[in-house]
Structure 1
């Protein structure tokens, strides 16, 4: 192997910190890790392919597999996972009391292919009887950029207003409108997003659909055994084709970094993190989900990936289902 410099862009997770401290390295590779907010990473990688490897939205990556170029190759390193039933917000005067009340309503989303929205729509349809076609989706920015910090800015990954299903109703928010304000003002009835709207904190007109959202998330997990995946690691295809060994090398390195993050979470003598009852929370989580509750690899995540692909297909985002072997580099299929 020849020496290689690899630029990787992702958010500053505890599970990537060991690359920055030098605890994790790859023989023959100089890793240039760029800590960037996730939406900036997506925009720059999808738009200009600026990095050799990067974090990427799961829905965006799967969509690229249906393009002629197929510019990226997936590695089963899942940098972001999150339960999403706590991210359904409603107008308190809309009359929505339960999930079924969403039928026939206007629901704000950042884009139809948005990974968090795919999970929310899929779970609402499968578990709560809210068909994906039963609402009208209003696409728009959530906040006004001048009034927020950079972590609230959502830049659409690609123009994804067209879907393969003709019965899906999608409209764009009026020019100059933002979804958080539209929800507070009753111009939309609900909002599915990856973040909490600022109006949730500034007005009593915005609240969660599920006050007990953790219970609902746990119910989904107990029934399905799924901890939803949001983002994965991808390599630019041209980099991968020139260095096929990189797929397994990257997987192994990120796996080692995750194990180091686990070790820090399990420290009991001091508070490594600013959480007064972290040990208590860790005991609850591992009792329910197992010691490796944030698994990497294909085998441990097959059901979760299959479920997400099924949701994307049912929602008209992809023309046909993919086999999991089509999603990841062949060098890591047995992980």
Structure 2
């Protein structure tokens, strides 16, 4: 953070999406704030430094990571804007070349996931339990790295893969039965979705719940927000302007429906996420939506809605 000619420059870690591209290029700006965007790829590498030590002024962050950070008292302020969301049922895959497999085979199976705290993993586990009746605790989860919060310890049914092992290779070799991938979903012959016709399954899930599962939101370092409270409104406005600039005229509501803004739109999704995180033993204490949104209201006031 620095001030140059009356403009507050904020070190910012966000991924380049259609709705953030013009923020990153400087085409969309605010009179009082500049987002000095850092090149961090993959973006999840920014989450631990931001959650642990507030390494940036503004950052994209997985919603599960933010909720853990909030529970552990980290000085972060959530902005009620979704930066990344996706339907999740195609994210759990298996190796069809080794043997047939169905969701019913998951009890007692070994399933890989990058980290137990990964938000995509949280959503897939929630869907497996809520839609298909497969409890999280009946699966042996194999992870390849720890969570973004050092204070967090994985539950007893989670096992770390041996050092040097890679999830995809373990799946190919039959050392794990299935695996959950996010943006790195492999395109390899024989690696196929465990849930048949995941597109149709996702449509049923969406029709029932009315939202696309939230993966990433935006957060600010609380020290920045307290020192420059007007900057919170400016940054929030920039994210909303970025989305407005990315709207497809042929389907103007699609992007905003997938990436909603405001606490009114996020209340329902967040209530479900909190319940899932609690059930999956991801949080050290109980959190409520009002506690989460208190920061938004403190700095954004009515604009938070």
User: With structure 2 as the length reference, what TM-score do the two structures score?
Assistant: 0.87
Corresponding position of 1:222: 207
Cα distance in 1 for residues equivalent to 2:261 and 2:125: 25
Cα distance in 1 for residues equivalent to 2:48 and 2:142: 21
* 1:273-292 map, 5 Å: 282=251, 292=257
Corresponding position of 1:50: 55
Contact 2:114 2:143 in 1 (8 A): yes
Corresponding position of 1:191: 179
Q: Go from structure 1 to structure 2 and tell me whether the alpha carbon gap of 1:21 and 1:110 turns closer, same or farther (over 3 Å shift).
A: closer
Cα distance in 1 for residues equivalent to 2:149 and 2:258: 31
Contact 2:59 2:219 in 1 (8 A): yes
Paired residue secondary structure (2:159):
strand
Moved more, 24-33 or 237-246: 24-33
Question: Which digits, 9 at most, give the CA deviation of each residue in 1:183-235, with x for residues without a partner?
Answer: 1111111111214454x51x52x321124111111110001112111111100
Of the candidates 8, 25, 31, which is equivalent to residue 27 of structure 1?
31
Of the candidates 170, 174, 197, which is equivalent to residue 162 of structure 2?
174
| 2:255 aligned with 1:261 | no
Unmatched 5+ residue regions in structure 1? Answer: 142-154, 267-278
Of the candidates 242, 245, 250, which is equivalent to residue 235 of structure 2?
250
Corresponding position of 1:157: 148
Cα distance in 2 for residues equivalent to 1:290 and 1:6: 26
Cα distance in 2 for residues equivalent to 1:253 and 1:43: 24
What is the Cα-based RMSD across aligned positions, in Å? 2.4
Cα distance in 1 for residues equivalent to 2:48 and 2:152: 17
Corresponding position of 1:108: 112
Contact 1:108 1:188 in 2 (8 A): yes
Moved more, 304-313 or 45-54: 45-54
User: With structure 1 as the length reference, what TM-score do the two structures score?
Assistant: 0.80
Cα distance in 1 for residues equivalent to 2:183 and 2:27: 32
Q: How many residues are aligned here?
A: 294
| 2:273 aligned with 1:301 | no
Q: Go from structure 1 to structure 2 and tell me whether the alpha carbon gap of 1:42 and 1:291 turns closer, same or farther (over 3 Å shift).
A: closer
Cα distance in 1 for residues equivalent to 2:243 and 2:45: 23
Alpha-carbon shift at residue 95 of structure 1 (Å): 4.0
Contact 1:161 1:170 in 2 (8 A): no
Question: Which digits, 9 at most, give the CA deviation of each residue in 1:10-63, with x for residues without a partner?
Answer: 111111122245442222223312242212322432354221111111111110
Alpha-carbon shift at residue 325 of structure 1 (Å): 2.6
Q: Go from structure 1 to structure 2 and tell me whether the alpha carbon gap of 1:247 and 1:326 turns closer, same or farther (over 3 Å shift).
A: farther
Cα distance in 2 for residues equivalent to 1:31 and 1:291: 22
Alpha-carbon shift at residue 291 of structure 1 (Å): 6.5
Cα distance in 2 for residues equivalent to 1:66 and 1:127: 28
Segments ≥4 residues shifted beyond 6 Å: none
* 1:84-95 map, 5 Å: 84-92=88-96, 93-95=98-100
Cα distance in 1 for residues equivalent to 2:205 and 2:120: 15
